[in-house]
Structure 1
Amino acid sequence: MTARRSAAKAKGMSTDPRLFLDSPFAAAARLALSREDTHYILNVMRRGEGDGVRLFNGRDGEWTARIADPHRKGAILELVAQTRAQTSVPDLWLLFAPVKRQKTDLIVEKATELGVREIHPVTTRRTQADRSKPERFHIIAKEAAEQTERLDLPEIVPIERLERVLDGWDPARILYYCDEAGDDDGEPWGGNAGRAGPMLDVLRADPAGPAALMIGPEGGFAPEERTRLRQLDFVRAVSLGPRILRAETAVIAALSLWQAVRGDWG
């Protein structure tokens, strides 16, 4: 038994494989699987004709289906019934500066697991890896959503420069940006003056509503970027503590704090 199936069994959930399919659902509808999903169901999960599969499409909730034709080039599933109504994740976006490929993949995966609605790669003055591959990100998000019982996939937005993102920002959405530096250029990490407030305190002081978190590049935000961000009314500078975190660690920490205070962890 795979670790994924063992975890599901321990939680009392169905151990039927779970797939995202971007197709409309209706009872008795027959849907064809891609070659990749067919390989996963038939070869990895070792399922055959008549076995159950759980499906979701981000719109129609979760459905049970049966393998009607286990053709290895493209299995056919027949929908049976809806088992969970559609729900949505909290209205939270993640903005992040891409880093090396493996770490960027991890950020997309964990953002999906932690319930982010939209993922926005942005380039900053110090971004070292400015390439973004939405197709690859979609595959990573799809697999993460399938595993974590999520009923939708996050939207993957094309990469854009931070300046342009801020120019078109809706001020009704609060932007929390993780700022590890103070304002004194003569002190390590900017000294103590101008330090951002602890993220938990800042979150608790704000009203509930649409929000976004932003994690900067490995080299931090440039002085001119910090200056502009701190001048915007919809921006909140927040601190994740006394240690300098790697970008992927900061993403997980910040999303966890937001979900605990404002999200659906309650």
Structure 2
Amino acid sequence: MAAYDFRAHRLFVDAPLAVGTPATLEREPSHYLLNVLRMQEGDRVLLFNGRDGEFLARLAGGSKKAAVLDVVEQTRPQPAAPDLHYLFAPLKHARLDYMLQKAVEMGAGRIQPVLTRHTQVSRVNLERMRANVTEAAEQCGVLAVPEVAEEIRFERLLGAWPAERLMIFCDEDAPIADPIAALKGAPRGPAAVLIGPEGGFSEEERAALLRLPRVLRVSLGPRILRADTAAVAALALVQATLGDWGQA
């Protein structure tokens, strides 16, 4: 039997969920269920809030401004959030949207923009980012919705870096050309993946990264990758070697 029911519609709700307690939706999700999906009384939907797990619910009534659902049973318990941070230099909208969606699918537990010396986009729309993250979680069955943190300057990020968290950053000059070999030699535990801007890290930034107590440079091969492609490649490598792919 499949682990997830991909035929059922999933909906994120920012409210507590429990069996036997009706869920009243706000205007936007109510509009989506009633006007976009054209759901009828008795139709089912899977609800999650990133805290209580996933629940099967059935449309019980209400209005177009506030649909009411009966919460019938819990279908999956709430998992712990992955202890993998994804840090990146901001990109323009379309590519940023794609990158955020893939970071959710790849199991990032925290997502944070980092402003580096060569970052081309200096302002980010956090509300848009969080909406993209939530939508990606709805579509791919993720229950532990990643935290989206405010943008931070590179120097401030490193100044407050916790000594126990491994920093993994992509560097074409990494001493070990094989990224899998490099990652397999790293200790498991709290980790972060940092993707720099398309202009690369400055020499000062690279030197600052290498002064961290736990740091690993990873090569992504002989080809030049765009930042959004590099994000998917790096997260896949980390999950396959240090992350939860082998635990599924």
| TM exceeding 0.5 | yes
Count of residue correspondences: 246
Question: Could you tell me which residue of structure 1 aligns to residue 86 of structure 2?
Answer: 94
Report if the CA contact (8 A) 2:110-2:147 is conserved: yes
Output one character per residue of 1:150-180: Cα deviation in whole Å (capped at 9) or x when no partner: 1121000100001100010111010000012
Give me the whole-angstrom Cα distance separating, in 2, the residues matched to 1:28 and 1:136.
33
Cα drift, residue 28 of structure 1: 2.1
Give me the whole-angstrom Cα distance separating, in 2, the residues matched to 1:101 and 1:115.
21
For the pair shown, the structure with the greater C-alpha radius of gyration is 1
- The aligned amino acid for 1:123 is L
Cα drift, residue 195 of structure 1: 4.5
Give me the whole-angstrom Cα distance separating, in 2, the residues matched to 1:105 and 1:196.
31
Report if the CA contact (8 A) 1:56-1:152 is conserved: no
Give me the whole-angstrom Cα distance separating, in 1, the residues matched to 2:177 and 2:82.
23
Question: Could you tell me which residue of structure 2 aligns to residue 252 of structure 1?
Answer: 232
Give me the whole-angstrom Cα distance separating, in 2, the residues matched to 1:196 and 1:125.
26
RMSD: 1.9
Cα drift, residue 10 of structure 1: 8.8
Give me the whole-angstrom Cα distance separating, in 2, the residues matched to 1:14 and 1:103.
26
TM-score (norm 2): 0.93
Return 5+ residue gaps in structure 2 as ranges: none
Report if the CA contact (8 A) 1:88-1:151 is conserved: no
> Which of 210, 213, 220 is matched with 1:230 structurally?
210
> Which of 6, 20, 29 is matched with 1:28 structurally?
20
Map 1:198-217 to 2 at 5 A. 198-217=178-197
Give me the whole-angstrom Cα distance separating, in 2, the residues matched to 1:115 and 1:217.
22
Output one character per residue of 1:56-93: Cα deviation in whole Å (capped at 9) or x when no partner: 11121111111111522221112111111111243100
Q: Aligned to 2:95, what secondary structure does the other structure show?
A: helix
Map 1:122-133 to 2 at 5 A. 122-133=114-125
Map 1:95-134 to 2 at 5 A. 95-134=87-126
- The aligned amino acid for 1:57 is N
Cα drift, residue 223 of structure 1: 1.1
Give me the whole-angstrom Cα distance separating, in 2, the residues matched to 1:26 and 1:12.
20
TM-score (norm 1): 0.87
Report if the CA contact (8 A) 1:109-1:144 is conserved: yes
What percent identity do the matched residue pairs reach?
A: 49
Report if the CA contact (8 A) 1:48-1:70 is conserved: no
Report if the CA contact (8 A) 1:99-1:218 is conserved: no
Report if the CA contact (8 A) 1:70-1:76 is conserved: yes
Segments ≥4 residues shifted beyond 6 Å: 9-12
Give me the whole-angstrom Cα distance separating, in 2, the residues matched to 1:23 and 1:33.
9
> Which of 67, 80, 86 is matched with 1:75 structurally?
67
